[in-house]
Structure 1
């Protein structure tokens, strides 16, 4: 892995130099656009509306239009902002870890010690572990001020950027207003269904079926050409055993519990 940024975690007079690495990567099969008639690659051009010329990236800058006037913001303008010059990951506060709702998490980054001695890094890591707290930090990265949660994952400090408060929408759905009656029997049956699915989360058990099937489709087309028989490649889909039958809630719960138990017995 290559670090994408260097800085230092600061809280009080403590300074922890770190290197920042992207913790995740995209595994989607890369696709591009072509003309369906002849397969020619579709490319986008950056054409100026005034002179009609195609513009290279090195001559493109940002601008803001308020409706009446347009102001151009150059890369030098952006780099001159005080917050952009900062290389500090500033600890604002330490909060109980369970107070951060997962909906607020955005991107994840690993932090590696960037000094001869890892003592300050390990001290911060141990402090977070033993206090069961998460550090809320602010820093600037790629022309944006970021709010983030700094926590421990295994033996590494993990930085997870957070959405700002006004970026999380409220879920005020009219359909959820008013009382909905749930019987004790329905609740008990639903709890039984949950119990039948109980397990420890192991990410390695799961895979991206769509990407696997897309890769299978691509390999088959490379081998067989456009005369591909998709039914032969993927097999005929199993029809729904219930034949589209509409079930009431209790019956659906009952059958779901029975199916889950049968699957567990079969896999045992």
Structure 2
């Protein structure tokens, strides 16, 4: 991994120099646009609407349109902002972890300590674990002042961006104001369905079906060309249940289906043992 930012965690009089690394990466297949007639790649040009010339990135500035005039902001202007010059992750307060709304969570980053800062880094990490608290911090990254949550994952401090209060929309849905009654039987059946699907979360157990199918399609087209038969490549599973309108009936069938899946598992294991004998 390559560090994308260097700075220091600051809490009280303690200063912990750290490096920032992106904690996630995309697994999406990279696609680009082409002309459907000849397969030529589509290119986008940065063309000035006044002089009609194509403009290089180095000659492009940012601007704000006030409605009456355009205010140009150069890279030097933006770099002069005090917040942009700051390389501190400033701890504002320590809060209970359950007070952070998951709706506010943004991009996560790993924090690696400089070797000389290993002890204060370890101290902060253990203190967060012992108190079961999360540090709320402010910092500047990529031309933006950000709010963040500093927490522990394994032996590493993780900095996760939090959305500002005005960036989270209010869910205003009039339909939810209408009164609707849920019966005790429906609630009990829903509870049974939840129990039948209960388990511990394991992210490794889930796969991105779309990306896997996309790779399968690319490989098939690479071999067969335009003559590929997509129906045979992707055998779609038919819906055996049909349309179910009644809520209780839908819940009942769902619970029965889960019970059937659970009862099949021991049989499959027994079959494997029998075949290996």
TM-score, with structure 2 as normaliser: 0.94
Alpha-carbon distance between aligned partners in 1 of 2:117 and 2:93, rounded to the nearest angstrom = 25
Cα offset, 1:264, TM superposition: 1.8
* Aligned match of 1:256: 254
Alpha-carbon contact 2:16-2:117 (below 8 Å) kept: no
Cα offset, 1:169, TM superposition: 0.8
Cα offset, 1:117, TM superposition: 4.2
Cα offset, 1:119, TM superposition: 0.3
Alpha-carbon distance between aligned partners in 1 of 2:265 and 2:23, rounded to the nearest angstrom = 34
Alpha-carbon distance between aligned partners in 1 of 2:245 and 2:45, rounded to the nearest angstrom = 54
* Aligned match of 2:5: 5
Cα offset, 1:127, TM superposition: 0.6
Deviation string 1:106-164 (CA, Å, 9 cap, x unpaired) is 10000011132400000000010011110000000010001000000111000000011
* Aligned match of 1:94: 94
Alpha-carbon distance between aligned partners in 1 of 2:80 and 2:128, rounded to the nearest angstrom = 34
Matches within 5 A, 1:27-38: 27-38=27-38
* Aligned match of 1:132: 132
Alpha-carbon distance between aligned partners in 2 of 1:74 and 1:117, rounded to the nearest angstrom = 36
Which runs of no fewer than 5 residues in structure 2 stay unpaired? Answer: 267-277
Alpha-carbon distance between aligned partners in 2 of 1:118 and 1:199, rounded to the nearest angstrom = 37
Instruction: Decide whether aligned partners of structure 1 residues 51 and 117 sit closer, same or farther in structure 2, where only a CA change above 3 A counts.
Output: closer
Taking only aligned residues, the RMSD between alpha carbons, in angstroms, comes to 0.9
Cα offset, 1:242, TM superposition: 2.3
Alpha-carbon distance between aligned partners in 1 of 2:177 and 2:259, rounded to the nearest angstrom = 35
Alpha-carbon distance between aligned partners in 1 of 2:8 and 2:116, rounded to the nearest angstrom = 14
Deviation string 1:224-268 (CA, Å, 9 cap, x unpaired) is 101100111112x22211233x33111111110010111122234
Matches within 5 A, 1:80-159: 80-159=80-159
The runs of at least 4 consecutive aligned structure 1 residues that moved more than 6 Å come to none
Mapped pair 1:190 → 2:195:
no
TM-score, with structure 1 as normaliser: 0.97
* Aligned match of 1:243: 242
Alpha-carbon distance between aligned partners in 2 of 1:267 and 1:77, rounded to the nearest angstrom = 65
Query: Going by fraction, where is helix more abundant, 1 or 2?
Result: 2
Cα offset, 1:86, TM superposition: 0.6
Aligned length: 266
Partner SS for 1:238: coil
Which runs of no fewer than 5 residues in structure 1 stay unpaired? Answer: none
Q: Is the deviation greater in 51-60 or in 110-119?
A: 110-119
Partner SS for 1:95: strand
Matches within 5 A, 1:36-115: 36-115=36-115
Alpha-carbon distance between aligned partners in 1 of 2:24 and 2:91, rounded to the nearest angstrom = 23
Alpha-carbon distance between aligned partners in 2 of 1:232 and 1:2, rounded to the nearest angstrom = 43
Deviation string 1:168-208 (CA, Å, 9 cap, x unpaired) is 11111111103211111111111000000001101100000
